[in-house]
Amino acid sequence: MQHPFHLFRFCPKCGSQHFIENNEKSKKCIDCGFVYYFNSSAAVVAVIENEKSEILVATRAKEPAKNTFDLPGGFIDMYETAEEAVCREVLEETGLQINSVQYLFSIPNIYVYSGFEVHTVDMFFRCKANDFNNLKANDDVAELQFIAPEKLNPDDFGLTSIRKGIEKIL
Q: Give CATH superfamily name and number for 41-169.
A: Nucleoside Triphosphate Pyrophosphohydrolase (3.90.79.10)
- pLDDT value of residue 139: 94
Instruction: Please report, as a single letter, which amino acid is at residue 163.
Output: R
Q: Transcribe 95-161 into DSSP letters.
A: -PPP-EEEEEEEEEEEEEETTEEEEEEEEEEEEE-S--TT----TTEEEEEEE-GGG--GGGB-SHH
Residue 118 neighbours by CB distance under 10 Å: 15
What is the distance between the alpha carbons of residues 38 and 154, in angstroms, rounded to a whole number? 30
Per-residue pLDDT reduced to its tens digit, 79-125: 999 999 999 999 999 999 999 999 999 999 998 888 888 899 999 99
Catalytic residue positions? 143
In which residue ranges of the chain is CATH 3.90.79.10 found? 41-169
Please say if the pLDDT value at position 3 is more than 70.
no
Who's near 8: CB < 8 A, 6+ residues apart? 19, 27, 36
- pLDDT value of residue 1: 55
Please say if the pLDDT value at position 135 is more than 70.
yes
Give the pLDDT mean for 5-19: 92
More confident residue, 43 or 4: 43
Who's near 85: CB < 8 A, 6+ residues apart? 42, 44, 74, 75, 76, 77
Please say if the pLDDT value at position 41 is more than 90.
yes
What is the distance between the alpha carbons of residues 40 and 25, in angstroms, rounded to a whole number? 11
- pLDDT value of residue 133: 95
What is the distance between the alpha carbons of residues 158 and 71, in angstroms, rounded to a whole number? 10
